[in-house]
Structure 1
Amino acid sequence: VHISADGKTGTFDKNKDFISFPGGSKKFTIRYDSISGKYWTLSNYIPDAVKAVNQGADPASIRNTLALMSSTDLINWKVNKIVLSHPDVSKHAFQYVDWLFSGKDIILLSRTAYDDAEGGAHRGHDANYLTFHRIIDFRKNTKIINN
């Protein structure tokens, strides 16, 4: 979105202003880290191998992989680390994640659909857990994951 100099109007060109953002069809939160000078997010990234076996599926419903991603400019995003993952896309999910910086770590909550003694979640969206996780020393997770 481009905001005018006077701040009164905004414009968006659908032909050139969309960016490639892995997992952008699901809820995500972006935060700026002044120590690394990067923007960070946790997103429901869909690896190419998962895309290949789920062709035609709605990408907004595939939430079985949670990735730590970073950007220096909010336009170009790098997948740094797979944080949580399960091979099943229909009944397993790590979704509606929110998170905070906590010193050198990231702490996060996930509405999680996963196996349990009752047979697990009915589907990925119908989570049966609220789970807490910690990504230790997240700034060291700068390895770029290529599909």
Structure 2
Amino acid sequence: MTKFALGTHPFLLGFEQLERLVERTAKSGNDGYPPYNIEQTSDHSYRITLAVAGFAENDLAITVEDNSLVIRGRQTDEDDGRIFLHRGIAARQFQRSFVLADGVDVGEAVIENGLLHVDLSRAVPERIVHTINIRKG
């Protein structure tokens, strides 16, 4: 059985990077923490919501790197002399990545009630029809 490569199909011209994109997404290293939702808020906008209870605004960083939205969290483990009989809430760092399509812009980010909301919008491309002249050779 031969492996089907998306970029080699004769009807998919110019999609050579699609296979690399799928591989990059699969290897992004997201381990399931923190849990998140992705919702469509309109025909051209989305919202990513991450459960970041215990993280302060200063513990979080949001960047766009090479068409990827990267959200990082790092808590400082402040041991101010407290003695824990059970410690089930660990100060844990995370990195969650989302691959963005061309034309998707990251809007505002809001943290409320332990949830981080990141709004995304997709620009609607203008429909353009080009007529190609045929010249006689």
- Larger-Rg structure: 2
Greater RCO, CA 8 A, separation 6+: 2
Shorter-normalised TM-score: what interval?
A: under 0.3
With structure 1 as the length reference, what TM-score do the two structures score?
Answer: 0.26
With structure 2 as the length reference, what TM-score do the two structures score?
Answer: 0.28
More helix by share: 2
